[in-house]
Amino acid sequence: MLRILFLLIVLLIVALTTWQDRYRSTRWREPLYLAIYPIAADDSAVTQTYLAALDAAKFLPLHEFFMREAQRYQLNTREPVKIRLRGQLHSSPPQRAPGAGILSTALWSLKLRYWAWRVSGHADEPEDIRIFVLYHDPDLTPTVPHSLGLTKGLIGVVYAFAAPDMNGANNVVIAHELLHTVGASDKYSFGNLAPRFPDGYGDPEQVPLYPQRQAELMAGRRMLAPDRWEQAYSLDEVVIGPATALEIRWLRATRKRISPGRSTPAGA
Ligand SMILES: [Zn+2]
């Protein structure tokens, strides 16, 4: 009985902190502190050299992106996210087993939160959101697993490349996972990764519709033609669309109702 009671109390605390996190992280009155923790995913000299040269300036485009988009949505805060680069970690987050069920996924998520709590938070500043970035030598790992962002615990795990010409693409993934932690959902088809119309398009009302000039952040790819799309390599070509803005509470539901109807693709 005592054991069950203890477990119930733990679950209650976890549920309450999750609810509190969700409330606090989507008020957008003061900046959210994002702590970025770099981790070397392999022993490659390329990765080590890249990490040794990693500085806060590499993440400045992220800061500018959120300021620019916040201004577009007339957010109360001018600076929605403050970014802090932390020292390199020498521990990797627990990985979810491929094909894990609901129960083992829940357990893995608790393990991840526990791991994150243990390795982070040694700074005086608040850490509202923590993103752990695992850098890979692209020659050893040409394709990386899907990154993830959890609303539970406000934690992101990003699989990135230790290559200077991938800095822009890495920042797109970090921004994408950051928005997952505050409640945004994916806007692409899981089968072929194509941006979904209209919410996954940078501008669903653009004329002509293709090629899209911008990518929607939660789609992560820009439509070039009805059957062609390309990964976004810089936040300069990315926007936060209204559907995502609604999910992260940058827009209110009432405003969506009065917004003009969206156009449909030609012939659809
Ligand atoms: Zn995603």
Cα 76 to ligand 1 centroid, rounded to whole Å: 26
**What's the confidence (pLDDT) of residue 96?**
87
Of 162, 181, 200, the last residue of a domain is 181
Better-predicted residue by pLDDT, 153 or 196: 196
Cα 190 to ligand 1 centroid, rounded to whole Å: 10
In whole angstroms, what separates CA 257 from the centre of its chain? 27
Per the domain annotation, does 241 fall within a domain? yes
Q: Identify the band that residue 262 occupies on the pLDDT scale cut at 50, 70 and 90.
A: very low
Cα 144 to ligand 1 centroid, rounded to whole Å: 14
Percent of the chain at pLDDT exceeding 90: 71
Neighbours of 20 (CB within 10 A): 10
Percent of the chain at pLDDT exceeding 70: 94
Kindly state the average pLDDT of the residues 243-267: 63
Cα 218 to ligand 1 centroid, rounded to whole Å: 6
Domain count, the chain: 2
Cα 161 to ligand 1 centroid, rounded to whole Å: 17
Per the domain annotation, does 21 fall within a domain? no
Cα 148 to ligand 1 centroid, rounded to whole Å: 6
Residues 78 and 49 in one domain: yes
Of 127, 159, 181, the last residue of a domain is 181
Cα 185 to ligand 1 centroid, rounded to whole Å: 7
Q: Identify the band that residue 1 occupies on the pLDDT scale cut at 50, 70 and 90.
A: confident
Better-predicted residue by pLDDT, 5 or 21: 5
Residues 196 and 135 in one domain: no
Q: Encode pLDDT of 128-140 as tens digits.
A: 999 999 999 999 9
Residues 218 and 176 in one domain: no
Residues 168 and 223 in one domain: no
Cα 78 to ligand 1 centroid, rounded to whole Å: 25
Residues 37 and 159 in one domain: yes
Cα 5 to ligand 1 centroid, rounded to whole Å: 36
Cα 217 to ligand 1 centroid, rounded to whole Å: 9
**What's the confidence (pLDDT) of residue 24?**
79
Cα 220 to ligand 1 centroid, rounded to whole Å: 8
Residues 116 and 52 in one domain: yes
Residues 246 and 163 in one domain: no
**What's the confidence (pLDDT) of residue 122?**
77
- Range of 223's domain? 186-268
Rounded CA separation 57/85 (Å): 9
Q: Encode pLDDT of 72-112 as tens digits.
A: 999 988 999 999 999 999 999 999 888 888 889 889 998 99
**What's the confidence (pLDDT) of residue 263?**
39
**What's the confidence (pLDDT) of residue 253?**
66
**What's the confidence (pLDDT) of residue 108?**
92
Of 147, 181, 215, the last residue of a domain is 181
Residues 48 and 142 in one domain: yes
Residues 177 and 190 in one domain: no
Residues 152 and 225 in one domain: no
Cα 128 to ligand 1 centroid, rounded to whole Å: 20
Residues 147 and 166 in one domain: yes
Per the domain annotation, does 151 fall within a domain? yes
Inform me whether the pLDDT recorded for 254 exceeds 70.
no
Cα 2 to ligand 1 centroid, rounded to whole Å: 40
Q: Encode pLDDT of 153-184 as tens digits.
A: 899 999 999 999 999 999 999 999 999 999 99
